[in-house]
Chain A
Amino acid sequence: MEKAQYLRLLYQMLLIRRFEEKCAEMYAKTNIRGFLHLYIGEEAVAVGVTQALAGDDYVLATYREHGHALARGMDAGAIMAEMYGKQEGCSRGRGGSMHLFDGQKLCGGNAIVAGHLSMAVGMALAAKKQQQNRIACCFFGEGAAAEGEFHEAMNLAALWQVPVLFVCENNYYAMGTALRFSHAVQELEKKGPAYGIETAVADGMDVLAVERAAREAVEKVRAAGKPYFLVCNTYRFRAHSMFDAELYRDKSEVEEWKKRDPIPRLSDFLLTKKVITEQDIEDLENRVAAEVQKAVDFAEGGTWEPVEQLTKFVYSSD
């Protein structure tokens, strides 16, 4: 891998981290309201997987999707403005943190757990019917794998043989309910083969491992036009949302996982290998800080949609 590509991975993960730290700050200042679900700790998954995708592939994510939006190259300012509820936001302010949209770059921001899985299957079906080369990539948590929708979508995808990549971001907690309290079979990777879907597991705290696994997966999905199930084991360092007192897990567990933080993991690896220098990291941090500040400025400078337009976009004719 080239230095530029390594730096790109590091840059994207750092951007997500610093962007979200700023989001938390802006939440505390009440500039951002509603639910705010931070991806901090899980950055390697979105960043690793999206490296393997083409620009016109369909990507669907959950309500914890700031990372996916940034990794897909969406403008940080448009995302921040969306969280502020400004009409310059990527969804004109109508969605907020949980509903970031940018055409096929990101089809949500979906806040009904597992509700987007069958949509992803349908998008892949449409790509197949129209003989396009694009695939659908659908991110969801392990909590979603307990929903009936997950099982319906997996079955349909395999039955119809459509090009969809299911990426399970297993962060071990469905809100506050641990994996062991919500799944009889906790090895999530066993659920793919039950539907005849090729399945792999990746260390979701290692962006290089995720990217490797995703490239293999995407290649197979695209070439064979079949579904694939990729489980990325990862960990959320922050609370589920800003309303979460984290009564359900020990601080020591969080501290253990923080030792596997994907950002220092990559930067330390690159420093040790002498691929990059401390100066490179400092440059990245500066670049990211500038971009985050620019995003905040853009959001602050944004405007409120006039109330007269409240019912616009309920129907296309509005």
Chain B
Amino acid sequence: MGDKTGILITYREALKQALREALLSDERVFLLGEDVGRYGGAFAVSKGLLQEFGPERIMDVPLSESGFTGAGIGAALAGMRPIVEVMTVNFSLLAMDQIVNNAATLLHMSGGQLNVPVVIRMGCGIGRQLAAQHSHSWEPLYAHIPGLIVLSVGTHEDARGMLLSALKSPDPVVIFEYTYMLNLEKEIPADAGAVDITRAKVRREGRDISIITYGAGVYKALDAAAELAAAGIEAEVLDLRVLRPLDEASVIASVAKTHRALVVEEAWRSGGIAAEISARIMEKAFYELDAPVQRLCGVEVPIPYPKHLEDASVPQIADIVNAVKKMIKP
């Protein structure tokens, strides 16, 4: 039996432990990215790994996002299991051609001959006052692309486990990690490890409404649900986790149970994940609904620098609580 004792761990440490376990368990795994080695990782996630695993497996790369992402894809084609770290999602646009035109297409375009088992991790999200070019939530851009598996690390459990499962995938996986959560401490089982990367997960059971979210929205939704419980409203929190391919069944099951759905995401509203979820509920669970589906999304603005404006750019706990109360009110 594994050790179910809880340990307190930061999101950063959970990510690092996953990396370390991956490197220890498979010789083919190596990490390449900007400043992952000597600097210790832009967000200190890979700190110490260079000393432990050496420069062949913890590879610092020049500022060539497209080049090193393409190299990761090539190495994956040729028998390795590379983990490409793109420092933050904003820089990933420079690598997007490689991800979209190569990683996502090669299996299909080659008629099933070529697998691309590459894992591409990127830090993302708002919350550190990094302004318009470093605060993006671009999960929807990648979730739009057939051929990619897109994961969103909304909890410490997933920070510890998603990478390990992603490395077992024969197909390219893009993993979004949330930089504002890096120092946040939570409890996970001491034996936490690989997790399912095909399903959404109910993080809190509830009967009155489904709050459907992912990534940075998960803990906010849980906090909101706790507040709502005090007011007598039992909200279910569904963490999507896998943004492509979407686990539609779990969404529909939750809505069939609660008959109300609020979709929360930090990404911009137009054409986002919330729009997609909302449409799928309309298609598959319309007659289950007691109220129209509502969305709480990022305000459609380049993220501003000052704290109060940054905070106002994405849904906060109070916004979720208010939105739910409006939907439940008879």
Q: Which residues of A contact B (CB under 8 A)?
A: 58, 89-95, 99, 101-103, 107-110, 112, 115-127, 129-130, 136, 148-149, 152-153, 155-156, 159, 311-316
Given contacts A118-B67, A149-B67, A314-B108, contact A156 B78 (CB under 8 A): no
For chains A and B in complex, what number of residue pairs have CB atoms within 8 angstroms?
144
Question: With A and B bound together, what is the CA distance between A259 and B102 in angstroms?
Answer: 39
Residue B80 lies at the interface, judged by CB distance under 8 Å to chain A:
yes
Given contacts A91-B109, A313-B108, contact A118 B78 (CB under 8 A): no
Interface residue stretch chosen among B68-76, B130-138, B208-216, B226-234: B68-76
- A156 and B62: CB pair below 8 A? yes
- B77 and A123: CB pair below 8 A? yes
What are 15 A-B contacts with C-beta separation under 8 Å? A101-B113, A108-B106, A110-B102, A112-B97, A119-B73, A126-B74, A126-B76, A126-B77, A149-B70, A152-B64, A152-B68, A156-B64, A159-B62, A311-B146, A314-B147
Instruction: Give the interface centre of A99, A108, A118, A121 by most chain B CB atoms within 10 Å.
Output: A118
Given contacts A129-B56, A155-B67, contact A121 B74 (CB under 8 A): yes
Question: In B92-109, which residues have CB < 8 Å from any A CB?
Answer: 97-98, 101-102, 106-109
Residue B48 lies at the interface, judged by CB distance under 8 Å to chain A:
no
Q: Write the chain B residue with the least CB distance to A91.
A: B111
- B67 and A99: CB pair below 8 A? no
> Which 10 A-B pairs have CB atoms at the shortest separation, nearest pair first?
A122-B74, A118-B70, A92-B111, A152-B67, A126-B78, A122-B71, A119-B74, A101-B110, A152-B64, A122-B75
Question: With A and B bound together, what is the CA distance between A119 and B147 in angstroms?
Answer: 18
Instruction: Give the interface centre of B61, B71, B113, B171 by most chain A CB atoms within 10 Å.
Output: B71
- A125 and B71: CB pair below 8 A? yes
Question: With A and B bound together, what is the CA distance between A116 and B77 in angstroms?
Answer: 12
Query: Which residues from chain B contact A112 at a C-beta distance below 8 Å?
Result: 97, 101-102
Q: Write the chain A residue with the least CB distance to B105.
A: A99
Query: Which residues from chain A contact B98 at a C-beta distance below 8 Å?
Result: 115, 118-119
Rounded to whole Å, the gap between the CB of B273 and the closest CB of chain A is 19
Rounded to whole Å, the gap between the CB of A253 and the closest CB of chain B is 33
Question: With A and B bound together, what is the CA distance between A313 and B111 in angstroms?
Answer: 7
Which of B61, B75, B149 has a CB less than 8 Å from the CB of A126? B75
- B67 and A156: CB pair below 8 A? yes
Q: Which residues of B contact A (CB under 8 A)?
A: 30, 56, 61-62, 64, 66-80, 82, 97-98, 101-102, 106-115, 146-147, 149, 170-171, 245
- B147 and A125: CB pair below 8 A? no
Rounded to whole Å, the gap between the CB of B265 and the closest CB of chain A is 24
Given contacts A93-B111, A115-B98, A153-B67, contact A122 B77 (CB under 8 A): yes
Q: Label chain A's interface by main secondary structure.
A: mixed
Which of B80, B82, B107, B115 has a CB less than 8 Å from the CB of A314? B107
Query: Which residues from chain B contact A58 at a C-beta distance below 8 Å?
Result: 78
- B171 and A315: CB pair below 8 A? yes
Question: With A and B bound together, what is the CA distance between A136 and B73 in angstroms?
Answer: 14
Query: Which residues from chain B contact A315 at a C-beta distance below 8 Å?
Result: 107, 147, 149, 171, 245
Given contacts A129-B75, A130-B79, contact A95 B109 (CB under 8 A): yes
Query: Which residues from chain B contact A102 at a C-beta distance below 8 Å?
Result: 113
Rounded to whole Å, the gap between the CB of A89 and the closest CB of chain B is 7
Question: With A and B bound together, what is the CA distance between A148 and B66 in angstroms?
Answer: 9
Q: Write the chain A residue with the least CB distance to B149.
A: A315
Q: Write the chain B residue with the least CB distance to A153.
A: B67
Rounded to whole Å, the gap between the CB of B140 and the closest CB of chain A is 19
- B70 and A122: CB pair below 8 A? yes
- A118 and B69: CB pair below 8 A? yes
Query: Which residues from chain A contact B69 at a C-beta distance below 8 Å?
Result: 118
Rounded to whole Å, the gap between the CB of B179 and the closest CB of chain A is 25
- A119 and B146: CB pair below 8 A? no
- B71 and A115: CB pair below 8 A? no
Which of A89, A107, A121 has a CB less than 8 Å from the CB of B111? A89
- A115 and B70: CB pair below 8 A? yes
- B78 and A153: CB pair below 8 A? no
- B74 and A120: CB pair below 8 A? yes
Which of A108, A121, A123, A129 has a CB less than 8 Å from the CB of B67? A121
Q: Write the chain B residue with the least CB distance to A126.
A: B78
Rounded to whole Å, the gap between the CB of A281 and the closest CB of chain B is 36
- A316 and B113: CB pair below 8 A? no
Q: Write the chain B residue with the least CB distance to A101.
A: B110
